[in-house]
Structure 1
Amino acid sequence: MKLEDELKRYFGYMTFREGQKEVISSLLKGEDVVAMLPTGTGKSICYQLPALLSNGATIVVSPLLSLMEDQVQQLRSEGIKSVTALNSFMKKEERDLVLQKLDRYKLIYLSPEMLQMSFIQRQLSRMNISFFVVDEAHCISQWGPDFRPDYLRLGNVKEALGHPPCLAITATATKVVQKDICSQLLLTTPTSIIYSVDRPMISYHVESCPTAKDKIERIKELVKRLRGPGMIYFSSRMWAENISYLLKEAGIGRVAYYHGGLSTEDRLLIQQQFMNDQIDIICCTSAFGMGINKKNIRYVIHFHYPVDIESYVQEVGRAARDGEASVAILLYSEEDRGLVNMLLERELLTDDQLQQILNVIQTLKQVDFKEEKVLMDRLSIQEITWRKLRFQLEARGILRNDRIHPFSLDSAFISIRQEEEERMQVKRMNLEAFLRWIRSTTCRREKLLSYFGEYLQTRPNGCCDNCGATLTEEFQDLSQSETLRPWRETLVKLFGQSELLER
Structure 2
Amino acid sequence: MFLKLALKQFFDFDEFRPGQEEVIKSVLSGKDTLGVLPTGTGKSLCYQLSGYLVEGLVLVVSPLIALMEDQVSSLQAAGEKRCIALTSQVEPSDRYAILQRLAQYKFLFLSPEMLQNPQVLKALGGVKLAFLVVDEAHCVSQWGIDFRPEYRLLPGAKKQLGNPVVLALTATATPAVTTDIQNLLLDESGQVFRHSADRPNIAYFVEQPEDKTAWVKEYLSQTKDSGLIYCATRQEVEELYQALSGSCACGYYHGGLASDQRRLLQQQFLQGQLQVLIATNAFGMGINKPDLRFVIHYDLPDSPENYLQESGRAGRDGQAAQAILLYQPGDERVSQFFQQKLWEERAGLLALLAGKISQGTPLQEKWRGVMEQTGKEDLPEQLAANAQGKDQRLQQMLAYIRTEGCRRAFLLQYFGEELTRIPPRCCDFHGASLFTPAESEQEEELFPTTSPLTWQEIMLKLF
- Range into which the TM-score falls when normalised by the shorter chain: 0.7 to 0.9
CA distance in 1, matches of 2:96, 2:179: 38
1:12-34 CA deviation, whole Å, 9 max, x = no partner? 11221111111111111111111
**C-alpha distance in 1, partners of 2:208/2:369?**
41
Partner of 1:187: 187
Do structure 1's residue 468 and structure 2's residue 431 form an aligned pair?
yes
Matched, 1:440 2:403: yes
Question: How many percent identity over aligned positions?
Answer: 42
SS of 1:300's equivalent in the other structure is strand
Of 280, 288, 292, the residue aligned with 2:287 is: 292
Equivalent position of 1:21 in the other structure: 21
Report what 1:278 is aligned to: 273
Alpha-carbon distance in structure 2 between the residues aligned to 1:360 and 1:15: 59
* Cα separation, 1, equivalents of 2:274 and 2:145: 29
**How do residues 277-426 of structure 1 correspond to structure 2 at under 5 angstroms?**
277-349=272-344, 353=348, 362-364=357-359, 366-367=360-361, 371=362, 387=366, 392-395=370-373, 416-426=379-389
1:60 Cα deviation from its structure 2 partner: 1.0
Q: Distance in 1 between matches of 2:80 and 2:110?
A: 18
The alpha carbon displacement at 1:420 in A equals 2.6
Contact kept in structure 2, 1:86 and 1:109, CA below 8 Å: yes
Question: Which amino acid is 1:284 matched to?
Answer: A
Q: What residue in structure 2 maps to residue 494 of structure 1?
A: none
Structure 2 counterpart of 1:286, one-letter code: N
Is this contact kept in 1: 2:207–2:325, CA < 8 A? yes
Q: Identify the residue that residue 163 of structure 1 maps to in structure 2.
A: 163
Aligned pairs (5 A) from 1:47-86: 47-86=47-86
Q: Are the equivalent residues in 2 in contact too, given 1:225–1:476 (CA < 8 A)?
A: no
1:322 alignment partner, SS class:
coil
- Report what 2:227 is aligned to: 230
Higher Rg: 1
User: Deviation of residue 165 (structure 1)?
Assistant: 1.4
Measure how far apart 1:313 and its partner are: 0.2
Distance in 2 between the 1:151 and 1:437 partners?
29
Query: Where does residue 9 of structure 1 map in the other structure?
Result: 9
TM-score, length basis structure 2: 0.88
Q: Summarize the Cα distance change of 1:417–1:323 in structure 2 as closer, same or farther, 3 Å threshold.
A: same
Counterpart CA distance in 1 for 2:193 and 2:46 is 12
Amino acid at match of 1:305: L
Structure 2 residue aligned with 1:197: 197
Give the alignment of 1:96-245 within 5 angstroms. 96-142=96-142, 148-209=148-209, 211=210, 214-245=211-242
Q: Is the contact made by 1:144 and 1:173 (CA closer than 8 Å) also made in structure 2?
A: no
Given the superposition, is the C-alpha separation of residues 351 and 459 from structure 1 closer, same or farther in structure 2, using an over 3 Å criterion?
Answer: closer
1:343-386: CA deviation from partner (whole Å, max 9, x where unpaired): 3332112787557666897433x34xxx46xx9xxxxxxxxxx9
- Return the offset for 1:36: 0.6
* Matching of residues 243-258 of structure 1 within 5 Å: 243-248=240-245, 251-258=246-253
Residue 426 of structure 1, CA deviation = 1.4
What SS class does the counterpart of residue 138 from structure 2 fall into?
Answer: helix
Is 347-356 or 4-13 further displaced after alignment? 347-356
User: Can you list the C-alpha shifts for 1:149-196, whole angstroms capped at 9, x where unaligned?
Assistant: 111111111122121211101100001111111122253231111000
* Residues 31, 191 of structure 2: 8 Å contact kept: yes
Q: CA RMSD in A?
A: 2.6
| Alpha-carbon distance, 1:103 to partner | 1.5
Range with bigger deviation, 335-344 or 294-303? 335-344
- When residues 81 and 273 of structure 1 are mapped into structure 2, their CA distance, relative to the original with a 3 A threshold, is same
Q: Gapped runs of 5+ residues in structure 2?
A: 441-463
Hey, what's the Cα distance between the residues in 2 that align with 1:313 and 1:236?
19
Structure 1 residue 264: Cα displacement? 2.8
Q: For 1:311, what is the secondary structure of its paired residue?
A: helix
What is the match of residue 43 of structure 1? 43
Deviating more after overlay: 310-319 vs 286-295: 286-295
Question: CA offsets, 1:57-114, max 9 Å, x none?
Answer: 2111111222222222322333323322222343333332222221222222211111
CA contact (8 A) 2:40 2:313 kept: yes
1:59 partner SS: strand
Q: How far 1:226 moved relative to its partner? A: 2.7
Partner of 1:33: 33
1:171-224 CA-partner distances (Å, limit 9, x unpaired): 000011111111222532311110001011110011122x4xx21211111122
Deviations for 1:249-295, whole angstroms, at most 9, x for unmatched residues? xx221122222222333223222222222222122222222222211
* Structure 1 CA distance for aligned equivalents of residues 385 and 268 of structure 2: 42
**Cα distance in 2 for residues equivalent to 1:247 and 1:144:** 37
Shift of 1:416: 5.0
Q: Distance in 1 between matches of 2:91 and 2:239?
A: 35
For the 8 Å contact 1:145–1:311, the answer to whether it is kept is: no
User: Would the alpha carbon gap of residues 430 and 95 (structure 1) be closer, same or farther in structure 2, given more than 3 Å must change?
Assistant: same
Q: Distance in 1 between matches of 2:347 and 2:339?
A: 19
Q: Deviations over 1:295-338 (max 9, x none)?
A: 11111111111111001001101100111111011111113132
- Per the TM alignment, residue 147 of structure 1 is displaced from its structure 2 partner at its CA by 5.1
